[in-house]
Amino acid sequence: MYRVMIIDDEMSARNLIKVSVDWESLGMKVVGEAGSGIEAINIIDDIKPDIAIVDISMPFMNGIDFTEVASKRYPDLAIIIMTAMDDFEYARRCVSLPVFEYMLKPIVRTEFTSTLSKLKEKLDKKRAESMHTELQSADEPDMDVSTIERIRDYIERNYKDSKLNLTFVAQQFGFSSSYLSRRFKQETGKNFIEYLTACRMERAIYLAGENYKMFCTSAEVGIPDTAYFGKCFKKYTGMSYSEFVASKKK
């Protein structure tokens, strides 16, 4: 079963994609969605999609920018870019990007299903070929406590980078993302995204206490998508940003 992630800033568009296809008959399953490229970069390591369906026009990080980042970090990720007519030629000019297909919005069910069927054939062939290659060997460099400390320091110095995530840090330090994820949790008691989010939210709490506007704080801590930042902040503190700011004024 191939795992599908839908990335579009319009919930109605995401819902339409989900109901437009008989995913099960294609051997696919929608396992996650994101309302922006920024949110997608933050959660993609947990979702682990095989396929990403990405809208080209999104705030903070558009579909082209997301594809540039994702294709380098996840070379096996198959990407379909959805675009309105006004952006179609712009998208097609980005020929250097490893995109499986550019498709026009609104979706035509038959064309969309046909594209997904072709993609499944490609992925099936690639999966069959990969069975003839060896899995990653056990020769991966060992991660000792000092390495974990260097990684923690790296996160604390770079959390303001909105493109920072597990896979990027793993590549920087020469580990696989799965190995880093496992060892990081063992040594720190938190998984990677929890640790990164904590760094960001602790700074956000300080700035909220200083009466910073939410859009300024969200940009300062590496989550310029204010909607996603708001979700993270409320989950971390139990209050919305405005509620938290108000509570500090009392």
**pLDDT on residue 120:** 97
**pLDDT on residue 98:** 87
**pLDDT on residue 234:** 97
**pLDDT digit string (tens) for the chain, length 250 residues:** 999 999 999 999 999 999 999 999 999 999 999 999 999 999 999 999 999 999 998 988 989 899 999 999 999 999 999 988 766 666 666 667 889 998 988 889 999 999 999 999 999 998 887 765 554 545 667 788 999 999 999 999 999 999 999 999 999 999 999 999 999 999 999 999 999 999 999 999 999 999 999 999 999 999 999 999 999 999 999 999 999 999 887 6
User: Do 214 and 229 contact (CB within 8 A), yes or no?
Assistant: yes
User: Do 188 and 145 contact (CB within 8 A), yes or no?
Assistant: no
**pLDDT on residue 84:** 80
Within the chain, residue ranges assigned H as helices are: 11-19, 37-47, 63-73, 85-93, 109-130, 145-158, 166-173, 177-188, 192-209, 214-220, 226-237, 241-249
The domains found in the chain, sorted by start residue, are 2-130 (3.40.50.2300), 145-249 (1.10.10.60)
Q: Is the pTM of this model over 0.75?
A: yes
**pLDDT on residue 137:** 47
**pLDDT on residue 177:** 93
**pLDDT on residue 89:** 67
